[in-house]
Amino acid sequence: MNFFDLIKKRSSIRAYKERPVSEEQVEKLLNAANSAPSAGNLQSYKILVIRSEEVREKLVKAAHGQKFLSQAPVVFAFLQDKERSRDKYGDRGEFYSLQDGTIAATYLQLAAVELGLGSCWIGAFDDEAVIDALPSSKRPLALLPVGYPARTSRNDSVRRELEEIAEFIE
């Protein structure tokens, strides 16, 4: 798929079919995330691949009742590994690890579209409740439920005009 068609096709999917995402697809998604650029090539994040129904239900509660988290067959939790980046970059490393994880999550999300899957970026959650639900004490950056879309989503969200977001300095 052409990149510009891919980004136009991507939309937030909040309903999933009861169809599993294969191990091969999960590996492709993880490889896409792993190919994302990162500060110093440190990849200062961790990705948890969550298939457990029990853990997904805990994440629903942690994410203020967003039920579609438990409906997706797999959820990817992106966690910040600020220590990994801080060792090289000091205090600035914490910021770099935040960027690293979010770029990797974006790559995974775009790869999902290419594979015919849907996802939704979830950033609205209680950090401590997510940490309690997962076998890690690292700060959660994003939760990405992934699966086959149960219905077609229109990507007609309103975007700001370019003049509002871009400024040219010549």
pLDDT tens track for 47-99 = 999 999 999 999 999 999 999 999 999 999 999 999 999 989 999 999 999 99
The pLDDT assigned to 158 comes to 83
**pTM assigned to the model:** 0.93
Q: Mean per-residue pLDDT for 29-42? A: 97
Residue 31 domain flag? yes
114, 57 in Cβ contact below 8 A?
no
6, 110 in Cβ contact below 8 A?
yes
Smallest Cα–Cα separation from 50: which of 34, 66, 70? 70
Does the pLDDT of residue 154 top 70, yes or no?
no
Look up the CATH number of the domain holding residue 90. Answer: 3.40.109.10
Residue 68 domain flag? yes
Residue numbers of the domain that contains 83: 12-150
Residue 167 domain flag? no
The pLDDT assigned to 98 comes to 95
CA distance 38 to 50: 24
85, 40 in Cβ contact below 8 A?
yes
Residue 107 domain flag? yes
Number of domains in the chain: 1
